[in-house]
Structure 1
């Protein structure tokens, strides 16, 4: 009988990374750290626009799993916040938290970004989570101040919606409103309409969802419905400027057609921080 061919059962050992490869990795990491130091210096000097540019360059370069992404996103959130680009600041902190969910400082900073994007329920939750995770004495006092204010703000907001409205419902409703604004910016008017209608159905107490619903309907050339929505906004708040201006412009828009662009204002833009 023929002998069976012998099969090598032992796996060959993996070759160790060469010293040259290690040096290259270390060099790249060092370059990233220098870039982060530059961004930190730009923020300290008040060059927030420059910091945003460098953060975005760095994030485009870094792999999704790179640990430095958290620092880059945190710096981006800070710079965008100082430029009062609160939606972008919120998005940066949210992505950073997806990578480092136990970072108290990130929760604290997103709590501020949540407030300035009218997510008052989310802001309270963020500060509560920051307090649970915080081990830094220097942050503790500031946290208590922000928590107190966030509780008062969320409490007043909940009171408008009635005694049975929960914090979870508030977070969902505020998120729907922000989704609607982003859909408006993308020109997705039907989807924006649905987001605002769902938000209103959860609790009809503010003029802003009606005002933005009116714009969404106007951009679909559904002028009668737009007029009704804008008038409803003014029933809730007769001083609501956005609804007054759009209602005044509606007769001309009916004659000449919809405008090519709509200016969507963030409520805290140009506020004093």
Structure 2
């Protein structure tokens, strides 16, 4: 027998030698990590699912689903020609009629304190079966434009000046005899000498909620006011569920508002960085 050879192992030793080492003896102080591996896998799957869900619900994803065409926002001051679109947007954005700007109020010549609108260009051929509440009232981008493109209002801000630091019912009102006042000042509505901008309406088409358009127009509006240097603060009133939204945009909640406009239940919000 050659020196490199040895006697065959016993049946038990042979069996152990060929058995896969999937488990360890407790006496070796080893731990079966299969349960930990399963737990890590579950965590990984949950993380992946969460990331996918967040991606689907991101403003960018919502925007892509809302528009069948590329959305190029155009932020510009509102004009008299946008009146009908503003009314259509108010009606769509505010379920409670008492919270809307009425046609009479909207048509009164409130001095323009930067009334702002977000518009998008819609080419009928590329937007078949696409609808939004302001589409029917939209005006052509240019007269006789070959593709018939329209400038469609999707969000707006309407505001005036007021004398106090927060908004009152008088600030939310307007002079009923505005047609005959001929520029004479009134004790309600816009106050030309006020250093507070009263934001009366932030309206976004319901189809575009969660797409970041409201945040876009508020930031643009505040920057516009800051550049102009015409005000010390911006004030608004909002319902409970919107307090945290405006806080994220830089507004501070002062407390419950005494204003009874639209049934009351408002909170005073103020931004000192207009």
Same fold (TM over 0.5): no
TM-score tier (shorter): under 0.3
Relative to its length, the structure with more helix (as a share) is: 1
Q: TM-score, normalised by structure 1?
A: 0.23
Query: Looking at both structures, which has the greater relative contact order when contacts are Cα pairs under 8 Å and sequence separation is at least 6?
Result: 2
